[in-house]
Amino acid sequence: MCPLFSPPLFMQRYQFVVDFVQKHEPKKVLDLGCAECSLLRKLKFHGNGVELLVGLDKDSSVMRTRMHSFAPLSSDYLQPRSGPLTIELYQGSVTQPDPSTHCFDLVTCIELIEHLHLEEVERFTEVLFGFMAPSNVIVSTPNADYNPLLPGLVGFRHHDHKFEWSRKEFQLWALRLCDLFGYIVSFTGVGSPADSHTNVGFCSQIAVFNRDPSRQDSALQCRSREEPTVYRLLYSVVYPSLSDNNILQRTLVNEVLCRAELIKRSWLSGEWVAKTAPEPFMQGSSVCVSLLDVWACPRVRSLCGTLRRFTEALMGELRVELTPARQAIIMPADEEEEEEVEEDEDAEAAGTKWTATTATEDWDAEMPHNSNSNLPDFHDA
């Protein structure tokens, strides 16, 4: 059977959020009903400037199956992020307020609201827009007007859906809460119908809420309420980043030594071409590589910003030996000496037991994005 949508509808929903994040660059993002954390994983890789990603779901077992995929990989340490990133996963209900949800720039509710009973929707609305009061909210839900176009569908798209709103019903709910809580809303969606059925709208309807700046005081007042902690923290990880001075220093020194080694080998092999920096020179059995030549490396420049900060960072660094005039790095020229050092390090490592955790992701398999069920919705519609 040919898929109804290409890319699949769940991917279109996630991409809508990714595009919003890349355009508006929120620093703190909360995904309600995060389930298997697929959206959070996409935002980890594509969320420009995001510093805090938080997921919330009632079902801890679903999150536990995927949460360790967020563990930092070797590449995260070899090439640290430029900015900080923390990921946290909580177990809890979207109808209960918790202080951990305050002050977010963006809250996403992707195919979540239809899994709540209508009486729960009222409480959910109060918690989301009254208590959390984020700057922006994205809500997606099935469009009941589109259902007649889905072949073989009887009733709702998923057995766990408590309701499915038409476009009119969805918009009435959204406009009412805007008036109550001080938001401005725009409507769009994903999953376009065929040209002959454009009157039914998108398969998944989306509302994008922005807090009304003229009513910001009331929103901030709602945020200041004191509430007890009710969510349970399941997982938290802080990624290595260049915002940590120790990591920045280590990354810089690694780049400097790598660049100096390349220059040294190029010069010893006769392939080095003099540009503006002084040529390397021998000092005993060592090769002295000009700091200016190392500074010419774009990666080194991006890490330091200025030549002064570059030279200051190398002073007193145990792994970098400078000439007395502090104008060049002293590199060992004898490869045998380097091999002896490597052999010593290998011998030392042989006596140490190392353990490693590898994180893998199955990007082909996809679970439904909701907090109440593990069953797929109708043809991912």
Can you give the pLDDT of all 381 residues of the chain as single tens digits?
A: 456 788 999 999 999 999 999 999 999 999 999 999 999 999 999 978 999 999 999 999 999 999 999 999 999 998 999 999 999 999 999 999 999 999 999 999 999 999 999 999 999 999 999 999 999 999 999 999 888 888 777 777 778 899 999 999 999 999 999 999 999 999 999 998 877 678 889 999 999 999 998 876 544 554 545 667 899 999 999 999 999 999 999 999 999 999 999 999 999 988 877 666 688 999 999 999 999 999 999 999 999 989 999 999 999 899 999 999 889 999 998 764 445 445 555 554 444 343 333 343 333 344 444 444 333 445 456
pLDDT of residue 361: 38
Can you give the pTM of this predicted structure?
0.79
207-243 as b/e, with b when 16 or more CB fall inside 10 Å? bbbebeeeeeeebeebeeeeeeeebeebbebebbbbe
Structure tokens at 87: 């990921």
- pLDDT the model gives residue 2: 54
Q: Which fold has domain 9-241+359-380?
A: Rossmann fold (3.40.50)
Q: What is the pLDDT of residue 225?
A: 52
The encoded tokens of residue 366 equal: 């996809």
Question: Is the alpha carbon torsion for 149, 160, 92, 85 positive or negative?
Answer: negative
**What residues does each domain of the chain span?**
9-241+359-380, 245-333
Q: Judging by DSSP bridges, how do beta strands 136-142 and 204-211 pair with one another? A: antiparallel
pLDDT value at position 25?
A: 96
The strand pair at 183-190 and 328-332 is best described as unpaired
CA dihedral 255, 258, 262, 263 (to 10 degrees): 60
CA torsion 29→32→35→40, rounded to 10°?
-10
Q: Residue 16, SS3? A: helix
Phi, psi of 56 (to 5 degrees): -130, 135
- Give the position of tokens 């000496």: 337
CA gap 301, 295 in Å, rounded: 6
Q: Could you tell me where the beta strands, DSSP code E, fall in the chain?
A: 28-32, 52-57, 86-91, 106-110, 136-142, 183-190, 204-211, 232-238, 281-283, 286-290, 328-332
Supply 330's token pair. Answer: 């002293």
Quote the pLDDT of residue 192. Answer: 86
